[in-house]
Amino acid sequence: MSSEITELRHDAFVYGSQDEYVAKAVAFLREGLRRGEGAVVANTRPGLAVVREELGPDADAVTFVDVGSAYTRPARTLAAYHAVYAAQLQRTPSLRAVADVQFGPEPSEWDLWTSYEAVFTESFAHLPAWVLCSYDGNGLPDRILDSVWWTHSSVLAHDEWNASDRYRDPGPLLRQIAARPAPLLGARSIGFGRDVEEFRERLAAELVSAGVAEDRALDMLLAAGEIADNALRHGGGVRAVRVGRVSGRFACEIVDAGRGFDDPAAGYRAPRAGSGSGLWIARRLTWQVDFLRCPDGFAARIVL
Amino acid sequence: MTGAARLTTDQERELVVATEAGDLDACHRLVEAFLPAIAGLARRFPRSLGVHRQELLQEGVAGLLFATRRYDPALGTPFWAYASYWVRKAMQDLVAELTMPVALSDRAVRGLAAVRAARNEHLRRYGTEPTAQQLAEATGLGRSQVERLQTAARVPRSFEEPTGDDRDGAVADQVRDGPAEEAFEQVLDAIEVREIRALTDGLAERERAVIRAHYGLGAPAQTLKQIGESLGLTAERARQIESGALGKLREALARPAPVRRSLDSRT
């Protein structure tokens, strides 16, 4: 019996009890192990402990990921999973994963994590992986449980696989639930300079002046350097650079002369052969990257 | 004033944002402001559970700091209303882990928790698996201790195995049973350990020095000519070193997952 996983399969599993979660997750992972696939289980520490115990000696072959602090921002979470999957795919040709998504208590941020689920399909489309996202059918609010059927084309619930008739294409769904960018307060032009190096020098002076910690300043310099490179290569050059604050965070806006693009998954696709990774880097290092049209061009706004 | 920390809404937001941005001083002030509220939640857990209050406080602070990394002030929810869920959850997870019949000794689980926190932070920062040495540096544990803990986590032990043998003794030494008033300082120490990390850790010392000097990170900014002179190099060589270092960082941040060629051709 060999693996049949050749591309991403991103499904959901709605469980009614912890016993059901453990039994089905372990059966799913063991089936993969029998086929020579890698196995990953991502949950909080108590969730990992019960799966590990049920796996017994098979646990040796499973990668356990503590997600207690992983779900902070979608791009960072994707990057963390990507690292785990990449490490696993060094060892096996394909993998299975059971991942417990941490929506959190705040209804106003549930759309953000629904976006994460939607974009996950795009992000890892090229990977030979079967990812089963687990949801507590008795503990989670109906709104979250409804969204499971929008973001997974197939859902394991009530002991059977169900094709979702409410599944939505990621692009339109992402556009529908995207939050409008908050205003850039105290915006001030700093100019671009001769080249990316001078731009980084100018931006660094602003970051230091704003008291941004060294490590985070470097995050912003790297992210902004990637965006500036893109503006020079694909956007017809940089027209303006502004810095300011968005909801209290340091922000930098780079305006290019191009027509721009309308791709809500831009920067969320994991690195792969034949496609650029600049926006992926920018997103994973910062709080948020927004793209917007403004009077002087097409702007990428990086919020640290 | 916000009820939990007696801060104005603006002060609270500034502290939260600054903490998330890596400002250690803000981090200390935030923890100090919310520690009474965290302690209040910790007191709700019965002592009969056998979990030390100090450990609950540490988990609570970890929950608070996690909340700063996820909290969006633009959504309009007061910070403590948001963070208290994560503080309580962190404590509940610790209690569940220490009281459930798992195969590891509770002292090993505590050491493992520190290793896991360091690993998660490394993954968040760099997107790569940390080495045992990096985990050792981040947690203050010995490298061999880290390796033993990682091995133990993958190989469950039976209930009958002794839990107080020498293998775990060194780890247990890392967890002190101090009185509650010591908890605060230890919590802050833990914060220091978790925050002292940098994207540039994977670079050579000279590469780090060039980047920091050029962009004024931790020292006044210098031109590449000045940096080159201080290192006995030409400006062009200093530029090459910086370019190479930035390239390394980029490569580390955007390394593709290995995909078999037959699959790769379809993407």
Residue B254 belongs to what domain range? 202-264
Which of A69, A81, A84, A111 to mutate to probe the B interface, most B CBs <10 Å?
Answer: A69
Task: Report the DSSP beta bridge partners of residue B242.
Answer: none
- State whether A114 and A262 are in the same domain: no
- State whether B90 and B190 are in the same domain: yes
- State whether B48 and B26 are in the same domain: yes
At B177 the pLDDT is 32
Q: Any chain B CB within 8 A of the CB of A4?
A: no
- Looking at CA atoms only, how far is residue B68 from chain A in angstroms? 9
Percent of chain A with pLDDT over 70: 100
- C-alpha angle B250-B251-B255 in degrees, rounded to nearest 5: 125
Residue A1 lies in a domain: no
- Name the domain boundary from A177, A199, A217: A177
Cβ contacts of residue A298 below 8 Å, gap of 6+? A235, A255, A256, A257, A258, A259, A260, A261, A291, A292
CB contact under 8 A, B70 and A71: yes
- Looking at CA atoms only, how far is residue B212 from chain A in angstroms? 8
Residue B1 lies in a domain: no
What would the pLDDT profile of A173-197 be if each residue is shown by its tens digit?
999 888 888 889 999 999 999 999 9
Residues of chain A contacting residue B253, judged by C-beta atoms under 8 Å apart? 222, 277, 280-281, 284-285
At B132 the pLDDT is 78
- State whether A196 and A150 are in the same domain: no
Q: A with B: how many residue pairs have Cβ under 8 Å apart? A: 208
Residue A293 belongs to what domain range? 185-303
Cβ contacts of residue A204 below 8 Å, gap of 6+? A217, A221, B214, B215, B216, B217, B221
Residue of A52, A108, A271 with shortest CB distance to B77: A108
At B153 the pLDDT is 54
Least CA distance to B67: which residue of chain A?
A72
Least CA distance to A63: which residue of chain B?
B154
Residue A2 lies in a domain: no
- State whether A172 and A107 are in the same domain: yes
As for how many domains chain B has, the answer is 2
- State whether A270 and A247 are in the same domain: yes
- At residue A38 the predicted structure's pLDDT band, cuts being 50, 70 and 90, is very high
- State whether A51 and A167 are in the same domain: yes
- Name the domain boundary from B200, B230, B245: B200
CB contact under 8 A, A277 and B254: yes
- State whether A138 and A159 are in the same domain: yes
Stretch A210-227: mean pLDDT:
94
d(CA B86, CA B182): 23
CB contact under 8 A, A249 and B21: yes
At B188 the pLDDT is 54
- State whether A196 and A157 are in the same domain: no
At A80 the pLDDT is 92
d(CA A292, CA A273): 28
- State whether A88 and A63 are in the same domain: yes
Residues of chain B contacting residue A53, judged by C-beta atoms under 8 Å apart? 101-103, 156
Which of A67, A207, A215, A246 to mutate to probe the B interface, most B CBs <10 Å?
Answer: A215
d(CA B101, CA A52): 12
- State whether B158 and B112 are in the same domain: yes
A104, A67 contact by CB (below 8 A): no
d(CA B169, CA B107): 8
At B3 the pLDDT is 58
- State whether B189 and B212 are in the same domain: no
At B7 the pLDDT is 83
Percent of chain A with pLDDT over 90: 86
- State whether A73 and A203 are in the same domain: no
- State whether B141 and B219 are in the same domain: no
Q: Residues 269 to 288 of A: which have CB under 8 A from any B CB?
A: 270-274, 277, 280-281, 284-285, 287
What would the pLDDT profile of A53-96 be if each residue is shown by its tens digit?
999 999 999 999 988 888 999 999 999 999 999 999 999 999 99
CB contact under 8 A, A128 and B86: no
- Name the domain boundary from B173, B200, B227: B200
CB contact under 8 A, B66 and A72: yes
Stretch A143-163: mean pLDDT:
95
For residue A189, the one-letter residue type is S
CATH of the domain at A299: 3.30.565.10
CB contact under 8 A, B21 and A85: no
Q: Any chain B CB within 8 A of the CB of A215?
A: yes
C-alpha dist (Å) from residue A88 to A242, A280, B158, B260: 41, 21, 27, 13
For chain B (267 residues), the mean pLDDT of every run of 10, in chain order, is 73 91 88 93 85 88 93 89 94 83 59 77 66 83 72 36 31 33 53 52 91 93 95 95 95 89 42
- Looking at CA atoms only, how far is residue A76 from chain B in angstroms? 6
Q: Is the model's pLDDT at A304 over the cut of 90?
A: yes
Residues of chain B contacting residue A214, judged by C-beta atoms under 8 Å apart? 22, 198, 212, 217-218
CB contact under 8 A, B127 and A82: yes
At B105 the pLDDT is 55
- State whether A225 and A120 are in the same domain: no
CB contact under 8 A, A53 and B102: yes
Q: What is the torsional sign of CA A303, A304, B1, B2?
A: positive
Residues of chain B contacting residue A46, judged by C-beta atoms under 8 Å apart? 93, 96-97, 100
Task: Report the DSSP beta bridge partners of residue A240.
Answer: A255
Given the structure tokens 């994973």, which residue do they identify? A284
Residue A33 lies in a domain: yes
As for how many domains chain A has, the answer is 2
What would the pLDDT profile of A81-137 be if each residue is shown by its tens digit?
999 999 999 999 999 999 999 999 899 999 999 999 999 999 999 999 999 999 999
Angle in degrees, 0-180, between the axes of helices B9-20 and B24-42, rounded to the nearest 10:
110
- State whether A298 and A197 are in the same domain: yes
ipTM field: 0.90
CB contact under 8 A, A69 and B117: yes
d(CA B248, CA B254): 10
Stretch A268-296: mean pLDDT:
94
- State whether A189 and A289 are in the same domain: yes
Stretch A18-38: mean pLDDT:
96
Residues of chain B contacting residue A179, judged by C-beta atoms under 8 Å apart? 74
